[in-house]
Structure 1
Amino acid sequence: MIELTPSKEGVLVNVHAQPGARRSGVLGEHAGAIRVAVTAAPDKGKANAAILDVLAQALGLRTSQLALISGETSRRKRVLLADITPEDAGRRIAEALPIPKPEVDSR
């Protein structure tokens, strides 16, 4: 379950970053955080900017509505989703998460 924290400006969400990936996108959930992969390398903020772009696109928000609050050099980041309610953020995140593939029993 992805943790959402209401704030005065909107909603705070934890992000687990995967820089230098083959493809960019929302991959799922990791320890209460939304897992985001980006092709950009973690160099001079390029991956952080790419993460905000991927999240904005996946959640149907403007890039200006997202701000990195903490975790600039860490895989674990806190991102502010501005001008959005926790309910709306939860719905958008749920829609952005990939549908898990059913496990196949190969007995």
Structure 2
Amino acid sequence: MHLRIYTQPKASRDEVVGLHGDELKVAITAPPVDGKANTHLIKYLAKQCGVAKSKVVITKGQLNRHKTVLISKPLIIPKAIQQHVADHSS
């Protein structure tokens, strides 16, 4: 499953906020320093989707807030992500 994500680092809590344009906005508590935000985003998405961290890969946007993320064989798809996927599957 590919997701286009807009990250908001240094947030007060980790959460899927909703849409930001045509991307899914995800707030994370980690700062955007030394890859900490990317690592935290991968950990958060893996937990939300019930997969190992190795199954979540940032394919574009390593140094940017706008990212494309690949989640291989998610066991769970949270409702906020389901809505985003449904809107962009056509």
TM-score (norm 1): 0.66
Q: CA RMSD in A?
A: 2.1
Q: Which residue of 1 aligns with 2:42?
A: 52
- Ranges in structure 1 where 5+ consecutive residues have no aligned partner: 1-10, 99-107
Find 2:6's aligned residue among 12, 16, 32: 16
Deviations 1:53-97 (A, max 9, x none): 11112222221110011111111001011235xxx8xx814x2x2
Larger C-alpha radius of gyration, 1 or 2? 1
Structure 2 residue 56 is the aligned partner of structure 1 residue 82: no
TM-score, scaled to structure 2: 0.77
Asked if 2 retains the 8 angstrom alpha-carbon contact of 1:69 and 1:77, the reply is yes
The 1:59/1:29 distance shift into structure 2, 3 A limit, reads farther
Residue correspondences, number: 81
Which residue, 14, 39, 45 being the options, matches 2:29? 39
Does structure 2 conserve the Cα–Cα contact (< 8 Å) formed by 1:26 and 1:58? Answer: no
SS at match of 2:64: coil
Q: Deviations over 1:37-64 (max 9, x none)?
A: 1111100100001111111122222211
Q: Matched residues, percent identical?
A: 31
